[in-house]
Structure 1
Amino acid sequence: MLGDLIAEEQGRITGRRVLPGEHGLPPTVETSYAASGTLLGVPVQDMGTYTARLRDDGTLEGGGQGVLMGPGGAHASWRGHGVGTFTESGGNSFRGSVVYETDSPEFAGLRGVAGVFEWENSVDGEVAGKLWAWR
């Protein structure tokens, strides 16, 4: 069941590059970002990189990974996967799932939880995301 909103963040894209497609697939766009927000009520800095490729139906398939850092050395890593669409303004919008790994007490509530997310990129490089617990 979809649970409580457990994270929100906003930030900026810090880099992009186009990678060659493999095995006859179209090229992949790699995007890195830095964002700040809260996770389980703890202030965090999030750094991540994800790749996305255009599918035959015009949607995007993406996956990525990143690290979160909180005060006092709290930390977590994440891996996610999702599908996206292009927005009318030229950005994109993704929906997907994410899982975390951590041994920090501040983020113990992430253990055994899958998250579902909404992620938005604007054409000018702004990013924003929300995450809900899926228990």
Structure 2
Amino acid sequence: MSGELIGESRGKIIGTRVVELLETSPKIETTDLSTGRLLGIESQDLSTAWSVWRSPDTFHAEGSGVVTSKDGEMAMYTGMGMGKGSASDPETLFHGLLFFRSSTPQWSRLNGTAVIIEYTVDAEGNSRSRLWEWKGRPERT
């Protein structure tokens, strides 16, 4: 990955629902509750995302979440990306970008930074997230 690993968490899908029936695919919403570390701080993450299948094994997803610490720190984020899986198999792999905002000194360094996420879910609904702070620099032309 291009960047520094800044967070990892494990959790569980705690809710799923059909939001809308589109022309070619249902729009599915899932909510995940996980615990882990963000920038070295123990954290809990509650996120909700919707996904739409683009092909038999690819989906687009967008969502938002709130990360909190035991000491009351809070960061919010929005994100989007693409995933692999199938409508008949709950196992998925998702890659995307998260955009954080926080007024908490411990997490405010993430403001204005693209955070790369790798998110997996197994057949039992167990999730795992890994986050990298993007460190790439655009080339000057």
Provide the TM-score with structure 1 as the length reference. Answer: 0.91
CA distance in 2: counterparts of 1:105 and 1:117, whole angstroms: 22
Q: CA deviation at 1:25?
A: 4.2
Moved over 2 A (4+): none
Instruction: Find the residue that maps to 2:21 and give its secondary structure.
Output: coil
Which stretches in structure 2 are left out of the alignment for 5+ residues? Answer: 136-141
CA distance in 1: counterparts of 2:17 and 2:64, whole angstroms: 16
CA distance in 2: counterparts of 1:18 and 1:118, whole angstroms: 24
Q: Is the 8 A contact 1:10 1:37 kept in 2?
A: yes
Q: How does 1:1-135 map to 2 (within 5 A)?
A: 2-22=2-22, 24-56=23-55, 58-86=57-85, 90-135=90-135
More helix by share: 1
Which stretches in structure 1 are left out of the alignment for 5+ residues? Answer: none
Q: Is the 8 A contact 1:40 1:109 kept in 2?
A: no
Provide the TM-score with structure 2 as the length reference. Answer: 0.88
Q: Residue deviations 1:74-100, cap 9 Å, x none?
A: 00001110100117x741110010010
CA distance in 1: counterparts of 2:124 and 2:79, whole angstroms: 23
Letter in 2 for 1:133: E
Q: CA deviation at 1:26?
A: 1.4
Q: Residue deviations 1:39-63, cap 9 Å, x none?
A: 0001100000011111136301001
Q: Residue deviations 1:2-46, cap 9 Å, x none?
A: 211000000011010112234x34111110010000000011000
Q: Residue deviations 1:75-126, cap 9 Å, x none?
A: 0001110100117x74111001001010001112212211011000111010
Instruction: Find the residue that maps to 1:73 and give its secondary structure.
Output: coil
Letter in 2 for 1:83: M
Letter in 1 for 2:49: Y
What is the CA RMSD across the aligned residues, in angstroms?
1.9
Question: How many corresponding residue pairs?
Answer: 134
